[in-house]
């Protein structure tokens, strides 16, 4: 399961409309909002990263949303999915750092002293 926090910005006059639209979207929950600035925090929960990105794109396309950006992301099965995520990286990217290439638990333990 993938879980992300999203910062959503809208005109203050459109905040309630945007919040209503977000609350109607599957996989999206709204949380704290600031009526003065037109900002609110939403969370997306989706089974795959692709599904999560698709939901974020739908949020960004809402007529009352001026901006929506992912500010935090959590992979629940992070270690289990690590190898498949590396295999999906496109060719031609800069070299992946050693601590991301090596065995994940060992690499994380090695970095604790950095």
pTM score: 0.66
Give ∠ CA 78-24-32 in degrees, rounded to 5: 70
Residues 6+ apart with CB under 8 A from 37: 9, 12
pLDDT in 10s for each residue of the chain, 114 residues: 788 999 999 999 999 999 999 999 999 999 999 999 999 999 999 988 889 889 999 999 999 999 999 988 777 665 566 666 666 766 766 666 665 655 555 545 555 554
Domains of the chain: 2-75 (3.30.70.920), 78-111 (no CATH)
Contacts 24+ apart (CB under 8 A), 99-104: 104/79
């Amino acid at each position: 399961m993938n879980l992300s926090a999203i910062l959503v910005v809208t005109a203050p006059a459109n905040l309630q409309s945007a919040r209503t639209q977000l609350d109607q979207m599957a996989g999206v929950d709204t949380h704290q909002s600031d009526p003065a600035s037109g900002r609110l925090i939403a969370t997306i929960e989706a089974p795959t990263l692709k599904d999560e990105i698709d939901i974020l794109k739908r949020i960004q396309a809402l007529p009352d949303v001026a901006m929506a950006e992912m500010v935090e992301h959590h992979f629940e099965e992070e270690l289990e999915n690590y190898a498949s995520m590396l295999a999906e990286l496109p060719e031609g990217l800069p070299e992946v750092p050693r601590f991301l290439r090596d065995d994940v638990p060992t690499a994380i333990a090695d970095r604790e002293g950095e």
